[in-house]
Structure 1
Amino acid sequence: MSITLEDRGARRAHAAPTARQRVPYGATAACLLALVGVMVFLYPSAAAWFSQLEQSRVISSVGSEVHGEAGGALAAEISRAQSYNDALVAGALLAEHANVPEATGVSTAAGADAYDRLLRADAEGAMGRLRIPSIALDLPIYHGTDDSTLRRGVGHLEGTSLPVSGASQHSVLTAHRGLATSELFTHLDRVRVGDTFTAEVFGEVLVYRVVESRVVQPDETESLVPQHGADLMTLVTCTPLGINSHRILVTGERVLPTPQAEIDRAGETPNVPGFPWWALAALGSAAAVGVYLAWASRRGAYPARPPERSEFTTHS
């Protein structure tokens, strides 16, 4: 019996050669660039989602703190806030080149630090919650309008009436618009006359119906002052996006009696943020890139070099 090297090579040739995978460098680079582009495109949605998640956490925390207080304590705090409002003089002024309105009101009956101590539900200065159903907005209301506050939620303009209602009172709330990391008042321009918005503050449920929505120029120097006998709240933000040369004013008048449906909703868990569709888009894009690269590597595979055949033989 004799076995030749040629026979051994022939046997090996019958077995499928092992293919070596090769991913085209150009396709890999293109896929990575496309994936980075998708992530950049989705970043604002993702950042806004996480921002809303934190805002909802604050709302739930404040609600728990407030509803944990005795009814008498809440009523006493509202009464102190109303006394503060009764002592206010003037209101707010729209100023050119300013991101937020300027307060002109001064409380003549309260100490210098009274504002910060009133309606303070947590250490961060949250006092309540603002809901605007027509634009699916649900945000915490904070004391003050400094930039760090306005990046977290809605700011109450010190020097205007605290949001506890009352005749001849005018509260002013303001927030940023068009931030890449948070939605805030971005869609305030979609609120129309007849829409309603609700402020929940220390157990009080205040519903306002929009009576005016307009864009004004700063050089009009219109003051947001109280109107005799009216219970008003105005929401203020800048426009156009990124330019901030004008102001959007959405003014609502208190609805009395308070609708029972809004009373029943008080303290409920925020329904924002919704499902993170941006996460599905990100995972889908990553999966698509992976599948394409796997397909490209198989298409670019080439067989291993077959063994060389020899004419030499061995005998046994």
Structure 2
Amino acid sequence: MSEADPAPAEQLAAARRYNAALSSGADLLAHQRKPAGVGSVDQEAADIWPYEQILTADSQGLMGRIRIPAIDVDLPIYHGTSETVLSRGVGHLEGTSLPIGGSDTHTVLTAHRGLAQSRLFTDLDKLAEGDTFTVEVFGEVLVYRVFQKLTVQPEDNESLRQIVGKDLATLVTCTPLGINSHRILVTAERVHPTPMTEVEQAQQPSDLPRFPWWAVWALLFVLLATFNALHAWWQYRGRDNRHTTPPFKNLKYSV
């Protein structure tokens, strides 16, 4: 996150001020692929930065990273839940706590499932109580342990509220696939102290499979070689035909 400006420490401090001033919450909407944040920030609070300017790791809105080992998820976290964001990773739901942890916080992270081009949260329903996931933001590593998994109606949003004294994170996706009438909510509580094994793992580069660009280049090479071979063959055939008497030139026939 070397592109961060202002400096990471300054942004983390701004995020803590934001969370302290936030009345957090979210609503789940029927037949929509994402929830809606309903939290608001106390505009009278001192030195509160705009949401989009907090935890900005790059110019594309990158906020952090989430790893869910049990379902082989390793994805970027971006600001907001626009379709552009949700087509390439996980969105932080504006109106809920920024994902930096702390007492009285509840962050909500959402992603699509069932997309043809990416799995994202497709396997979220396979998570079980006791599974963990890790959120990394500006070098801060937060480990959460799942204690609840619900499939709820759109109007059931109580489980997305803040709880006094708790440090919570909920992962949200739609269900059933293609219908989106319900929501899967996987809620987890922060693990203290943070396991060192998770800290070490979170700071390593992702080891999940990446798109095989080598295969694209190999295919292009094969196509180019095939084109060149066909082109040479047609040129040779043209030269050969110019020096050969057509076999049917003197053939006479009647109808």
The answer to whether the 8 Å contact 2:79/2:92 transfers is: yes
Partner residue of 2:117?
A: 181
Provide structure 1 residue ranges, at least 5 long, that are not aligned to the other structure.
1-61, 287-316
Are residues 1:92 and 2:26 paired?
yes
Tell me the equivalent position of 1:162.
98
> Hey, what's the Cα distance between the residues in 2 that align with 1:167 and 1:111?
20
Distance in 2 separating the partners of 1:110 and 1:155: 27
What's the counterpart of residue 198 of structure 2? 262
Distance 1:238 1:111, change over 3 A: farther
Q: Does 1:82 align with 2:16?
A: yes
**Distance across 1 between alignment mates of 2:17 and 2:49:** 15
Aligned counterparts of 1:217 and 1:93: Cα–Cα separation in 2: 11
Specify the alignment match of 1:250 in structure 2: 186
What amino acid is aligned across from residue 111 of structure 2 in structure 1?
Answer: A
What residue in structure 1 maps to residue 54 of structure 2?
118
- The whole-number CA distance in structure 1 between the counterparts of 2:14 and 2:48 is 15
- Residues 1:180 and 1:80: Cα distance change in structure 2 (over 3 Å): same
Looking at structure 2, the residues matched to 88 and 130 of structure 1 have their Cα atoms a distance apart, in angstroms, of 23
Instruction: Provide Cα deviations, 1:133-166, integer angstroms capped at 9, x if missing partner.
Output: 0011000000000111100100000010000000
Match of 2:35 in 1: 101
AA aligned to 2:101 is: S
Deviation at 1:65, TM superposition (A): 4.1
- 1:191 positional shift: 0.8
Structure-2 change in CA distance of 1:110 and 1:223 (3 Å): farther
Q: Distance in 2 between matches of 1:223 and 1:252?
A: 11
Measure the CA separation in 1 of the matches of 2:63 and 2:108: 14
Q: Are residues 1:146 and 2:73 paired?
A: no
Aligned twin of 1:129: 65
Q: Which amino acid aligns with 1:264?
A: E
Residue 239 of structure 1, CA deviation = 0.6
Cα RMSD of the aligned pairs, angstroms, is 2.8
User: Which string of whole-angstrom CA distances, capped at 9 and with x for unpartnered residues, describes residues 92-141 of structure 1?
Assistant: 11122221111110111378961000000000100100000001100000
- Point out 4+ residue stretches in structure 1 off by more than 2 angstroms: 73-76, 109-113, 219-223
Aligned pairs, number: 220
**Counterpart residue type for residue 156 of structure 1:** H
Measured in 1, the distance between the counterparts of 2:46 and 2:56 equals 16
2:152 equivalent among 201, 213, 216? 216
1:261 to 1:180, Cα distance in 2 relative to 1, 3 A? same
Aligned partner letter, 1:145? T
* Structure 2: unaligned runs, 5 residues or longer: 223-255
Name the structure 2 match of 1:225. Answer: 161
Is contact 2:14-2:48 (8 Å) kept?
no
TM, length-normalised to structure 1: 0.64
More relative contact order, 1 or 2 (CA 8 Å, 6+ apart) = 1
Cα pair distance change 1:86/1:243, threshold 3 Å: same
- Whole-angstrom distance in 1 between the partners of 2:46 and 2:188: 27
Using the size of structure 2 for normalisation, the TM-score is 0.78
Instruction: Give secondary structure in 1 for the equivalent of 2:75.
Output: strand
CA deviations on 1:47-92 (whole Å, 9 max, x unpaired) are xxxxxxxxxxxxxxx4x546xx99xx42332111011001001311
Deviation at 1:223, TM superposition (A): 5.4
Q: Distance in 1 between matches of 2:47 and 2:182?
A: 34
Residues 94, 222 of structure 1: 8 Å contact kept: no
The verdict on how the C-alpha distance between 1:211 and 1:265 changes in structure 2, with shifts beyond 3 A counting, is same
> What whole-Å deviation, never above 9, does each CA across 1:159-197 have from its counterpart, x for those lacking one?
100000000100000001101111110111111110000
SS of equivalent residue, structure 2 residue 188:
strand
Separation (CA, whole Å) in 2 of partners of 1:173 and 1:81: 16
